[in-house]
A and B are shown apart, each in its own frame.
Chain A
Amino acid sequence: MSGLSDESQPEPAVAEAGWRPLPPRARWLFVAGNVSALGGLAIGLLVPIGLLLRDTPLALPLALAVLVVLPGWGVWLALRQYACTRWRLDGHGYSLRRGRLWRHETFVPRSRVQHLDLQRGPLARRFGLATLVVHTAGTRHNAVSTAGLAADDAEWLRDQLARWIEHDDDDA
């Protein structure tokens, strides 16, 4: 297969400029989200383990393993997801890059922003974070949501993007 990957480049240098990471404290938001989801799944899995394997010596170790491994995996995944999330605002629009195994880079052109949402849950407020949702008139990617932005950054972004909407409306 090594012969096939000759066309893949590491990352073009031109694309790297201006990509900004999330603030370090945002990783706790990612961790909290994943641990609660996978922790719930682990607790859910205890039921079939208890029902099906009750009389076998496997039950206790398996239950403990599930309780430890799933949330642990959630933490590891959250840290990776956090590390791979980058956003960028340039003259053409807003970009969001996510994922490491499955990489997605979403771009919303400045002329296509319809409206903006700034969401702040209790946990996000506690850490001074916010979620910015950029809406377009599209179908599949009509709401591009960036969780874990620093509250100041999110507000700055919203103001910048909102200015574009006004600008384009004046044009029309």
Chain B
Amino acid sequence: MIISMKKYILSLSLLFATFLITYGQSADPLVSKCVMSAGQTTKYLKDFRVQLGEGGSESDFRFKANMSLWKNTIYRFTMCNSDDSKGQLILTIKDKANKTILSSFDPETGKIYSFVDLHCNKSGIYQLYYDFTNKQSGSAVGVISMIR
């Protein structure tokens, strides 16, 4: 009885471990979808999975990352929101001197662009800031690709 119980627990543990490994390996469908939506003429470079709760100061971006961008390269920044995301993902890029290079949100018209192409002419390390509109909660992905 004890031996069969042990076997049962062992089998369950193995099944659970297999599930974890398989689950861990599977790519996030939203990321895959977003990579594909970046367009036929692009080549994938990186992605950032952004999942945030509600709240935070109006002036602060809640998701920050650094990335090097190189001169004579056209980068495409694509933003994809999951279906259940309350807010829409917006991106702002600043240089080392904290100067804003681009924003996917136009405060004058209120328009949010789902992708922004940057013709980079200054090599360096830039800060990428992601957040959701009106500091709402949300789940989204930002994909960075190169345009051929």
A and B together in one complex: no
